Amino acid sequence: MNDLHFLIPLLRSFPKCYWIWNYRLWLLDEARRLLPLPEAQQIWQQELALVGKMLTLDSRNFHGWGYRRFVVETLKELGTAEEARSMTQKEFEYAKKMIGANLSNFSAWHYRTKLIQSLLDEQSASDDDRRRMLDDELSLIHQAFIDPYDQSLWFYHQNLMCVFDPSMAERTMAPNLSSSDRLQYIRNEIEEIQEMLDGAEDCKYIYQALIECTLLASKVEGSLSSEDRDQILGWLSELKKLDPLRRERWLDFEKTL
C-alpha cells in the first residue's frame, strides 16, 4: 500500500510514463495474489476511483482509458457474475457522462463501443433488445452531430454502420437484421447525413460518410445503381476541392467506380 501511495505524485508528474504504470500494475497483481479477496477487492476499487479522478483531470488520456478498462475487467473477475453485470452497466453510463462533457472525447466513444457488446451479451439480450440499443446509439450520434467537423463523431458513426455490413454484421450488436432492414437503416442514414450539408457544405467528413454509406447500400443490394454512382461522383468532385492533399486518392477511387 505504501508503494501505491508513493506512485501517485509520480503519476501526476509523468502520467504517460509506462514504467510507472507497469510497476503499479505489478503491485496490484501482488495484492490480488497475496491478500484475502475482500482486501484485494477494496484495493482495486480504490484504483478505479483513482483512475476516475485522473480522467476528470485529463478526459482524453488514452493511457488512462486503457488502464480503466483493465481495472474494471479485474474487478469483474474478483466479483460475482451479478456484480460484473452491474459494473458493465455503470461503466456504460460513465462513458455516456464523459461523452456528454466533451463530444470530442474519442477515447470515451471507443470505450462505449467495447461496452455495448459486453452489456448485451451479459444481459442475454434478445434481437428486439439489440435493435433498441442500435436505435438508441444512432439517436445519440445524430444528436452529437451538432458539430459535423468533429472527426471523433464520424469514427463512432463508422463503427455503428458496421452493423449493416453483411460481412461484419455477425460480430456486431445486432447480427440478425434482415437485408431489407439493413438497407432501410442505411438509406435513413444517407438522408440524415445529406440534411447536414445545409450550412456545412465545406465539411469533407459529410461527403466521405455519404460515399461510404452509399457503397454499403450497394453491397447489401448486390450492385451499385447508376443513380448512386452519379451521386458518388458528385460527392467525390466536392472532396477533391475540399481535400486537395488527398486528391490523388480520390482520383484513384473514382477509377474503381
Look up the CATH number of the domain holding residue 187.
1.25.40.120
Name the band, by pLDDT with cuts 50, 70 and 90, for residue 3. confident
Q: Are residues 110 and 150 located together in one domain of the fold?
A: no
Question: In the prediction, which pLDDT does 60 show?
Answer: 80
Q: Residue 87's domain spans which residues?
A: 1-125
Q: Are residues 81 and 188 located together in one domain of the fold?
A: no
Q: Are residues 142 and 81 located together in one domain of the fold?
A: no
Q: Are residues 38 and 95 located together in one domain of the fold?
A: yes
Query: End of a domain among 77, 104, 125?
Result: 125
Q: Are residues 172 and 79 located together in one domain of the fold?
A: no
Name the band, by pLDDT with cuts 50, 70 and 90, for residue 113. very high
Q: Are residues 219 and 239 located together in one domain of the fold?
A: yes
Q: Are residues 70 and 107 located together in one domain of the fold?
A: yes
Q: Are residues 92 and 140 located together in one domain of the fold?
A: no
Question: In the prediction, which pLDDT does 154 show?
Answer: 96
Query: End of a domain among 77, 93, 125?
Result: 125
245-257: pLDDT as tens digits: 998 999 999 999 8
Q: Which residues contact 241 (CB under 8 A, 6 or more apart)?
A: none
How far apart are the C-alpha atoms of 140 and 86, rounded to whole Å? 22
131-155: pLDDT as tens digits: 999 999 999 999 999 899 999 999 9
6-45: pLDDT as tens digits: 998 888 888 778 888 889 999 999 999 999 999 999 999 9
- Residues of the chain with pLDDT > 70, as a percent, come to 100
Cβ proximity of 54 and 45 under 8 Å: no
43-60: pLDDT as tens digits: 999 999 999 998 988 888
Cβ proximity of 87 and 45 under 8 Å: no
Q: Based on the structure, what is the number of domains in the chain?
A: 2
Q: Are residues 121 and 146 located together in one domain of the fold?
A: no
DSSP annotation string for 187-256:
HHHHHHHHHTTTT-TT-HHHHHHHHHHHHHHHHHHTS--HHHHHHHHHHHHHHHHH-GGGHHHHHHHHHH
Q: Are residues 147 and 249 located together in one domain of the fold?
A: yes
Q: Are residues 113 and 171 located together in one domain of the fold?
A: no
Query: End of a domain among 125, 142, 157?
Result: 125
How far apart are the C-alpha atoms of 131 and 177, rounded to whole Å? 8
Rounded to an integer, the average pLDDT of 65-72 is: 92
Q: Are residues 201 and 115 located together in one domain of the fold?
A: no
